[in-house]
Amino acid sequence: MHELAITQNVVEAVTSRTGSAPVAEVRVRVGRLSGVVPDAMRFCFDLVTAGTPLEGADLEIEQPAGRGRCRRCGVELELLDLVLLCGCGSADVEVLTGRELAVASVQMVVPVQEPAQEPVQPAEGR
Ligand SMILES: [Zn+2]
């Protein structure tokens, strides 16, 4: 289940920016051709965020359709899944977009004011 590693990366990417401030919502953009299964990602998110500032945060998953171009007839088509098949019958489709995987936005529980001010704390305790 590669969603676990991917979700872990997402969570680490977020906490590297937000530190220990509690997060209310994380929105990710997962292209339809990325091979990531949203339900699996949600499941992993709950596991991975336990005990972190992201615990209990909502995970919103946007799934933009991909776009491809048929190498045989040149037509551009919308790609909703990994079946790359043009109307002309050719499966020789060049993928233009749809494999993206990115954090689209993060919503904090307490809105972030000015940047800086508080120095980054290495971790609580000694
Ligand atoms: Zn075609």
**From the CA of 88, how far away is ligand 1's center (Å)?**
4
Distance from C-alpha of 14 to C-alpha of 72, rounded to nearest angstrom: 42
**From the CA of 69, how far away is ligand 1's center (Å)?**
8
DSSP the chain: -THHHHHHHHHHHHHHHHTTS-EEEEEEEE-TTS---HHHHHHHHHHHHTTSTTTT-EEEEE-PPEEEEETTT--EEEE-SS----TTS---EEEEE---EEEEEEEESS---SSSSSPPP--S--
pLDDT score of 9: 95
**From the CA of 64, how far away is ligand 1's center (Å)?**
22
Q: What pTM value is reported for the model?
A: 0.78
Beta strands 101-108 and 23-30, pairing class: antiparallel
C-beta separation of 71 from 89 below 8 A: no
Greatest Cα-to-Cα distance within the chain, rounded to the nearest angstrom: 66
**From the CA of 114, how far away is ligand 1's center (Å)?**
52
pLDDT score of 119: 63
pLDDT band at 110 (very low <50, low <70, confident <90, very high): confident
**From the CA of 85, how far away is ligand 1's center (Å)?**
8
Distance from C-alpha of 114 to C-alpha of 39, rounded to nearest angstrom: 35
Mean pLDDT of 11-15: 96
**From the CA of 68, how far away is ligand 1's center (Å)?**
10
Residue 6 has pLDDT above 60, yes or no: yes
Q: What is the pLDDT of residues 57-97, one digit of tens each?
A: 999 999 999 999 999 999 999 999 888 999 999 999 999 99
Name the token pair of 33: 């051709």
**From the CA of 78, how far away is ligand 1's center (Å)?**
12
